[in-house]
Structures are given as C-alpha cells and as structure tokens.
A and B are shown apart, each in its own frame.
Chain A
Amino acid sequence: MGANLFTNYGEAVAMILFGIGFTNLLLQKNLIKKIIGLNIMDTAIYLFLAEKGYIQGRMAPIIVDGVQNVETYINPIPSGLVLTGIVVSVSVSALMLSLTIRLYQRYQTLDLDEISTKLKKEGL
C-alpha cells in the first residue's frame, strides 16, 4: 500500500490537489476564491490524466523512422482528454467570473452569504 503510494506519487498529489480545490469551491465564502478552487480542482484532474497517460521510457505518439510498434509510443488519448477538459474548464470559469461581476456590480460585495442577506432585505 505505502510502496504503491510512493511509486504513484504524481497521482497522490493530484488527488490531494483535487481535494483542496473541491473543498475551496464548496466552503469558501468569497466568490473569487471559489473560482480559484474550481480551477485547482480541474487542473488536478488534468495532472492525474497526464500522470496516467505517460509510460516510462516511451516516446510521444508521432511516427519517426517508420517505427510502427505500439510498444514504442504512449497512448495519445489522455492528452486529447486534457485538451478537451481545458476548453470546458475555461468556458465555465469565464461564465462564473461574469456572474461574479454581475453580482459585484449589484451588491458591492463578493461574499455569497452577504449577498443572500441583502437579497432577503430587498424582499423580492
């Protein structure tokens, strides 16, 4: 168990980072800190995928010198997944930031709980 953890230290770090990001997104009151948490969480997943996608001693999956043996190259799909994931993560971050700007313009605060209190006072 412990030995496995040491060999796969990259994955372990990715999981810890995922946890940090997840709790930040869930528990922080400040919206900007929440978005930072979101990005840490997503990046941790990409780190996990990148760690899993690399095999020691193999090359990038580009055929050189006509070597077509599968054992020579790593699997290109995890890198593709990371790219797709980055696109998704950029768009949701942009959406969250724009929502934050809207809320800040209306209520002059980034604290979600304070915004809720102000909303209740408005009584809409």
Chain B
Amino acid sequence: MDFVQNFPCFSIVLSMFASIFSSALNGKHAKWLNTAVLIIISIMSGCLLFYLIGTGQSYVYMMGRFPAPWGNEIRAGILEALMALFFCVIMLLSLLGGESHIKAEVDPEKVNLYYIMINLLLSSLLALIYTNDLFTAYVFVEINTISACGLIMIRQTGRTIEAATRYMIMSLLGSGLLLMGLCMLYDMTGHLLMSNIKASIEVIVAEGTYTVPLLVTIGIICVALAIKSALYPFHSWLPDAYGYSTVSSAAILSSLVSKGYIFLLIKIFYRVIGFDIICNSKVINILFVFGLAGMIMGSLNAIRENDIRRMIAFSSVAQIGYIYMGFGLGTEFGILASVFHIISHAATKSLLFIAAIGLTDVSGKKRQFINLTGAGYRNKVAGFAFTIGSLSMVGIPMFSGFVSKLLFAQAAVQTHNKMLPTLIVLAVSTVLNAIYFMKTVIRIYTPIETEYPTIPFQKCKVYGITLICFIVLNVILGMCSQPIVDLIRSGLNMFA
C-alpha cells in the first residue's frame, strides 16, 4: 500500500485533533492552527488527487483490523479527493476574507470556540466525503449540524439565536428521517457498508421482494437530505441563518455545509442504492419538481428582498434548486452538471458573501440597498468582486455559472420528457437572477455624494487578496472547465 493512501484518514483525524487542541489555545493561536491544518489538508488532498489520476482507480481503506462485512471503511476516488481539496480551499478563503469581522463580532474569549467549530465542521465534511459506511455518515451528519449551529450562534444577537433554533429544528427533522431510512435499509439488507448494501439491494430488486419498503426508504432518505440541504419548501430557516451570522459562517454554511449533504445524497444514489434503481423509482421526479419550484421561488423572494445579505441567501435557495433539478433529470449527465454546479456555486456564493460585507462596511454597516448606492466606488475591490460574482450567477460566459448552466441545458436536451420544462425554467430563472443581481450592481455603481468613507486597497490587503483569489478561481472554473468536467466524469464512473 502506498503512503498516499493514508491521506484521507490523516486529514479527518488531523482536523479532529486540531479542534481538540484549539480548546486549550487562545483565539489567535487557534486561528493559526486552523489555517495550518487547512493548508496541510489541501496539500494532502491535492497529492491524493494526483495519485488517483495516476492509478486511475479508487481504493478502499480499512479502518481498524476487520475486513469488509464487519469493519468500518473509508473509500477514496477522484471525485472525493477533488471535493476535499475544493472544500478546504473555499473554507480557507472564506475564513481569510471574513477575518476582521470574526474579530469584531465574536467575543474575544470565544474566538477559539469558533475555530473549534470550524475544525469540527471540516472533519465532519471530510468524513462525509470519504466514508463508506452509512451509520458513520449519519453520526458525522449530526456533528456537522451541531457545529454549523455553533457557527450561526457564535455572534450573540436575538436574530442569530432564533435562526440557530430554526436551523436546528429543521435539521433535526432531517436527521430523524435519515436515521429512520438508514435503519430500514439496514433492516432490509443486513449491512451498513455501502458496497455490501448495494449488492444486497440488487438481489432484492431481482427477486422482486420488498418493493414498497425499498421505495419508502429511498423517499425518506431523499426527503431527509433535501430538508437538511434546504431544498425549496424547507428553506424557511435559511435567510435568517445566512443573513445575520458572521460573514465567514454565512459563506461556509451556504457553500460547504449544504453541499456536504448533497454530496452524501449523490453517494447514496450511486454507491448504496444504485443509479438505475433510483431512476426507475418515481422519487427523482419529485426532486425535479421541487428543484424547479425552488429555482423560481428562490429568485422571486430574492427580488422582493431589500437587504443585500438576505438577497444572496435567497439566491442560494434558487441554486440548490438547480442542483436538485440536475438529480431529477435522471441521467448521468444531469448528475455531472449538478456536481459541477456544486463546485461553481460554492466558489461564487462565498465570493458574493465576502464581497457584500465589504460593500456594507463602507455604507455605515447598513445593508439596505438605498445605503449601498455608490459603494462600488468606495471599496473598489469589493465592488469589482461583487460584479464578477453577479455575472457568474447570472451565467455570463467566461465565468463558472455559465458553464454549469450550459451543462444543465445539455443534460436536459438528452432527456425525453423533461427537456421543455427544464429549459423554460432555466431561462426564466436566468432572467430573474439577472433582475436582482444587475439591480444591485447598478446600485453600487451609481455615483453619489455621501459622508461614508472610502477604503483604499492598502487598508484591507488580506481581504482584497482573498477576493482576488476568489475571482481567479471563478474565472478558472469558467474558462478551463473541460479538465474539471473530465475529472468529475471519471470520478462518477469510479462511483458506479
């Protein structure tokens, strides 16, 4: 066995230990520890990715000394390594961009608690990405929920505590359903490891027994993860949680936490139940309809919003709708488009959150649009970054959002009966996106005489450089999408 194959296990354990050590450190040291851990894990994931591209096949890593049906396992393929690398980079950039706000908004004695939560969140995300065992996945889903709740309520205002409570209630409904679904799956198959469950399910389907329980289980698991990742009718907690928490938390929650659950759902589709069985069940049609509804309703709510942070939060609802619509198409290409959209949306949404906070800072911390007039001149880099993010969200060529929309459209054309609704809703949603994002861009570039101060680039170097990194990431995703799409395709092939 090569040394590189240990890296998934190392990265999970490393981030967990970092969170334990952070409890004994002060805020500043905890921050440095967290940054170091993120960089190390990014490098390790990068090495793993290169190694896996070289060997061209995934591998299973035994946790403990017992082989397959009894022991616990980790599994790594190209897609897992790519996701781990990408999540670490986005998390690092989001933390750097919101650093000054963490200092200002979090009680100085509690800063290390914030980094404990971040490290726990990272380890649970990595475990969700790599695990090959469903019950382990459930446990880490709960850890993810708890640490995300901590991220929301670390800034102690009435709004955030209420938002955290609502978030917990919705998440717990989701986890309850997920646990029930997993227990039913265990009951039918007698296994907890993904590959063994898949083998038993193939037998069950071939024999034709347990048809109804299997359908119910698929439905329960899909609904559970849809609730947790805030698909349209379950999004009520989202605007408050993203709108009022500290900005790094909002960026991490919108771009990573919900995506972790969606990635788990993809794993369940491919590695637990089997993609053909999922496609033959009618459950994906329900996901499709709610995805389409989310795309429209999220955008409509965003248009009505008068608060820039809440507007971006509602835009997340629409983008989650895109991802579920991709699942609902029921083709390999649809899933591919969804995975690419997970990446592109994560890169763009965190950019928008970080840029928006720069704009509100130069408008007297007020978030209403009327105060943001001309903010793009007062903080030039934030204004530029916000414009790039908006263009990407709307789907202008050269930026990442365009590529994902193109992939969705291509995927839709390949299906028989879902082409027309998908294309129509895609077009309508693009127009709606353009309405609210362009409205904001025009607003921030409307010249006006105000008393608010102008912040030059020299005053906010870290923030500015972070934004530039985000912009570069977006442009890379938009201009050189083909290698990434190829990577995702080979990763998905490894799943099956």
Contacts and interface: CB of A to CB of B under 8 A. Distances in A.
Contacts, number: 84
Given A92-B142, A95-B146, A18 B169 contact: no
B176 A31 contact: no
Contacts of A84: 135, 139
A112 to B, nearest CB: 7
A48 B139 contact: no
B442 to A, nearest CB: 27
Contact of A100 (B165, B180, B183, B186): B165
A92 B139 contact: no
Interface string B160-174: 011011101100110
B158 A25 contact: no
Contacts of A118: 158
B164 A99 contact: yes
Interface residues of B, number: 30
Interface in B135-172: 135, 138-139, 142, 145-146, 149, 153, 157-159, 161-162, 164-166, 168-169, 172
Chain A interface, DSSP helix/strand/loop, else mixed: helix
Q: Is the interface of B mostly helix, strand, loop or mixed?
A: helix
Interface string A38-78: 10011001001100100000000000000000000000011
A5 interface: no
Nearest to A106: B158
A92 B135 CA distance: 17
A124 B158 contact: yes
A92 B159 contact: no
11 contacts: A18-B180, A22-B176, A25-B176, A38-B172, A45-B179, A48-B180, A95-B168, A99-B149, A99-B153, A100-B165, A112-B162
Interface of A: 18, 21-22, 25-26, 31, 34, 38, 41-42, 45, 48-49, 52, 77-78, 81, 84-85, 88, 91-92, 95-96, 99-100, 102-103, 106-107, 112, 115-116, 118-119, 122, 124
Closest 8 A/B residue pairs (Cβ): A41-B176, A88-B142, A99-B165, A52-B187, A102-B161, A124-B159, A45-B179, A106-B158
